Chain A
Amino acid sequence: MAKIIVVTSGKGGVGKTTSSAALSTGLALAGNKTVVIDFDVGLRNLDLIMGCERRVVYDFVNVINKEATLKQALIKDKRTDNLFILPASQTRDKDALTIEGVQAVLDELKKDFDFIICDSPAGIEQGAQMALYFADEAIVVTNPEVSSVRDSDRILGILQSKSLRAEKGESVKEHLLLTRYNPTRVESAEMLSVADVEEILAIPLLGVIPESEAVLKASNQGQPVILDSEANAGQAYADAVKRLLGEEVPHRFLEAEKKGFFKRLLGGK
């Protein structure tokens, strides 16, 4: 039975799309047939991060409007087997998403896939609500700063009141993914700590992704950062995928690295 997981945050720019790309790649690498859907209609970023922007012919809205079949719109990832991308339309807006339309697409995808990852747009309006409405689980991406935590809290409230599961009296399983974590800045009290965020949001921690230059580099190259097994961020995403699949993995990269003299000289954060 396919699992629908929404990657959401409320606030923009916290790393939803980066996380969607990394986690879906990780799930596919682990042998699960995975599709990642870009719900950010009108902006369309996922295909860039996944490095398939030049292969987009039909999109999510075309499928909803029955202008294309799902098979035509799905893009098979070139690097990773079992991974497919359903890109967003850049020429439409979020009103193009309807409950019936989204449901029809998801129902069809459920037949073939193990995991359906919904990359939510920022905000709490139509687009974000559509992305989370059919979710079984939610990964709430949060940066360790107060406004991001507040928005995550808001989206958690919406998840438990406006999703299909909530309407049926069931609950959506919640995961906290803390991104752009910088232990050095936490130590100097410039950033909230993992414990602070966990205390406020009170949901299980899926992973902590350290702030890393590898993320920006990966995005610009159109290659999910999880494929960069040298980078802290890549390893942290790989751990998060294992936890998502039920494995118990200790959290890493929570402490500031003690840099040696040469490393400090040569830079690198």
Chain B
Amino acid sequence: MTETCFRMKGTTLTSIVLEVIDFEVDKFEAQLTQKIASAPQFFTRSSLILQLLKPLSATEFELLVAMCKRLHLQPMAVKGEVAELKPIINDLGLADVSQSKFTDSALKSQRSEANTNSTPTENEKSNVVQTTETSPQSNAVQPTPSAPVSALKPAKVVSRPVRSGQQIYAQGCDLVVTASVSEGAEVLADGNIHVYGTLRGRALAGVKGNNNARVFCQSLDAELVSIAGQFIMHESVKGDCWKKPAQIYLEEETLRIAPLS
């Protein structure tokens, strides 16, 4: 009997997309170096997807990959205008992900954006696929959400008050309550929780471990608020935002309460 030597598994990972709008070697390298210098820790050895918005020659492509490696980036895949480059992509050991589900729609939206871009000096931008708040690109272009449209599950909307003793769980999506959540009631969501009323009960967002989930409410009077398992109780909720519009989110493992508006 032979023992299993490996297992095949699917995974999703967050990576940086480097959109190549125009490739003039010197200018490109100068701007890319500058960008990396703005957050060296973030960029060093981060895996990269090269997205070609216009076709490059085989030589140009080789130069681009070499430049990335020199700057301690790790190109792992290519998408976009790659039809002419298949052999060299193979030679360089990269993957062609042009056929991935999200490429087309993402490409379309980014192309139109590139065309209408009013700041043409930015011919390079890094784009975190799953938009994260931790992105260090303070002066860079706002990351465009390029997550696949098909993966968006509509939010669960509740328009009646959530009463004491009731429990509502929005599985795999956001929860929107357009009324109050009573004391003794519990609202849970895998995504964010919005309460357009007073939150008096318990609200647990990101219950499957999504650290980016947040709780928003029009008036904060909660018994308990939890994000991805980290929670605070009534006593700690009391503060500057007490009975005011507020949001609660995770910042480096600590729950933060911030006023809205």
Contacts and interface: CB of A to CB of B under 8 A. Distances in A.
Given A157-B164, A157-B166, A150 B179 contact: no
A9 to B, nearest CB: 13
B164 A154 contact: yes
A195 interface: no
Interface string A114-133: 00000000001000000000
A150 B180 contact: no
A124 to B, nearest CB: 8
A257 B137 CA distance: 66
A158 B182 CA distance: 13
B164 to A, nearest CB: 4
Interface of B: 160-166, 179-180, 182-185, 198, 200
Given A153-B164, A157-B164, A202-B180, 14 more contacts: A153-B163, A154-B163, A154-B165, A154-B184, A156-B163, A157-B163, A157-B182, A157-B185, A158-B165, A160-B160, A161-B166, A200-B200, A201-B161, A202-B161
How big is the A interface, by class? 10 to 19
A199 B179 CA distance: 11
Interface of A is mostly: helix
Given A200-B182, A202-B180, A150 B164 contact: yes
A201 B184 CA distance: 13
A137 B97 CA distance: 60
6 contacts: A150-B184, A156-B163, A157-B163, A171-B160, A201-B161, A202-B179
A157 B162 CA distance: 7
A150 B166 contact: no
B183 A150 contact: yes
Contacts of A161: 166
